[in-house]
Amino acid sequence: MRALLTWAALITAIAVPLAVAATSPLLAWRQPIYIAAGFAGVIALALLLIQPLLAAGHLPGPNPRRARKIHRWVGATLVAAVFIHVGGLWITSPGDVIDALTFTSPTPFSAWGVIAMWAVFAAAVLAIFRKKLRLSLWRALHGILALCTVYSRLSRSLAQSPMPC
């Protein structure tokens, strides 16, 4: 029963944001590339939710070795989703992407997205070279980059949300 509830909660946590994004009235005025880029971003966020659960072995079903293998594939998919997200936004609005990448965007939350993007890329590069580092050093660096990614994404989401103060 616990395994079923865990998977149901995870699926709900992924499906609800996808459904909300898919039913947004703002999509009516957007180009298909922009829509695809936006959904790549939503998918990237869903993958960020799955990654630590796989790494820590908290998902019922796969054994720890299989969970780590899935973690690697999900990580590669996460990097691809970020590339699609940023690439699609570049195609539809290169000026906004340049502003974000140079930290000159008038929207304060874009800086958090850029920081998260670079942390994802750095964690992926570090994962590629993990056999060249001591395991303890690799785990520490990879964990710090993962925390930086999650913190940046959380900060960006909170900056975008209207919060009563």
What spatial distance separates the first Cα and last Cα of the chain, rounded to whole Å?
40
Separation CA 75–CA 121 (nearest Å): 10
Number of H helices, E strands in the chain: 6, 0
45: Cβ contacts below 8 Å, ≥ 6 apart: 17, 153
* pLDDT at residue 164, rounded to an integer: 38
Rama region for 162: left / alpha / beta (φ>0; ψ in -120 to 50; rest): beta
Confidence (pLDDT) at 16? 94
Please give the C-alpha separations between residue 7 and each of 57, 74, 89, in angstroms, as whole numbers.
Answer: 13, 17, 32
* CA separation for the pair 35, 8 (Å, rounded): 27
- Determine contact, residues 128/77, Cβ cutoff 8 Å: no
Tens of pLDDT along the chain (165 residues)?
A: 888 999 999 999 999 999 999 999 988 889 999 999 999 999 999 999 999 889 888 889 889 889 989 999 999 999 999 999 999 999 999 999 999 999 998 887 788 889 999 999 999 999 999 889 898 898 889 888 888 888 876 665 655 554 433
